[in-house]
Structure 1
């Protein structure tokens, strides 16, 4: 696997830093490589559902973000990224200390990129696959953003 150019890595990390939702969740980028992005976040009390496990909204937000930044690593330097469609399959309750969302690009196109993410709940004795996401990302220029 090749390394990211410093400009693409900086752009991706700067974009992530502007996401207030990710800051609220205490999320950070782990692995970042061409076509791949891992986003990690603790399962904080503010992101639990009524049974005490991580809320599906947290799982979705981390999975969508990991997939989007995986796509961004393969887009032109002047582009940003937006989700146009995302599907989630929740496979198990998000029981654990933190979630790890491993996003990757399935097919990078000039106008559309197909992406997927596996989300794992990590605890002391290992990790469990809790969700799979699949979606579509498109490049946008900063003037396209609202």
Structure 2
């Protein structure tokens, strides 16, 4: 990817107030793949003390969307048309790591997926998978 393409992803991510609220950071950007991490903060927990599914979904959706955006022209943006999540295990740990990937890029639709891991002391556990469709729109 060109420095301009990578900067576009970082700039767009920086404009997402939701990611800022969650303490999420953009960790890695390559063509077709984006990694986002977020700490499991006290304000993002559910009633049993696990990270809330909303946290898992939010960073998984953003990682998948930005992965799609890496495959599109610089004057494009994406919006989520649909995305589903399978929660596999409780979000227990220090932070969550979402790895979004493009399954099938396209000019009208991009099929994407994300895997979300909970990490404790460097050990990762897969806690969710997402699959969805992103729609390219004018930037």
Could you list the runs of 4 or more consecutive aligned residues of structure 1 that deviate by over 2 angstroms after TM superposition? Answer: none
Aligned equivalent of 1:132, options 120, 129, 132 = 129
Determine the structure 2 residue equivalent to 1:15.
12
1:56 matches 2:50: no
After TM superposition, the structure 1 = structure 2 runs for residues 109-128 of structure 1, keeping only pairs within 5 Å, are: 109-124=106-121, 126-128=123-125
Distance 1:73 1:97 in 2: 28
Shift, 1:125, TM fit: 5.8
Distance 1:43 1:35 in 2: 26
Distance 1:20 1:125 in 2: 27
1:83 matches 2:80: yes
1:24 matches 2:21: yes
Distance 1:138 1:29 in 2: 21
Shift, 1:9, TM fit: 0.8
TM-score for both structures, normalised by structure 2: 0.98
Structure 1, gaps ≥5 residues long = none
Distance 1:53 1:124 in 2: 17
Equivalenced residues, count: 139
Distance 1:130 1:45 in 2: 19
Distance 1:84 1:7 in 2: 26
1:141 matches 2:138: yes
Distance 2:27 2:136 in 1: 22
Shift, 1:6, TM fit: 1.4
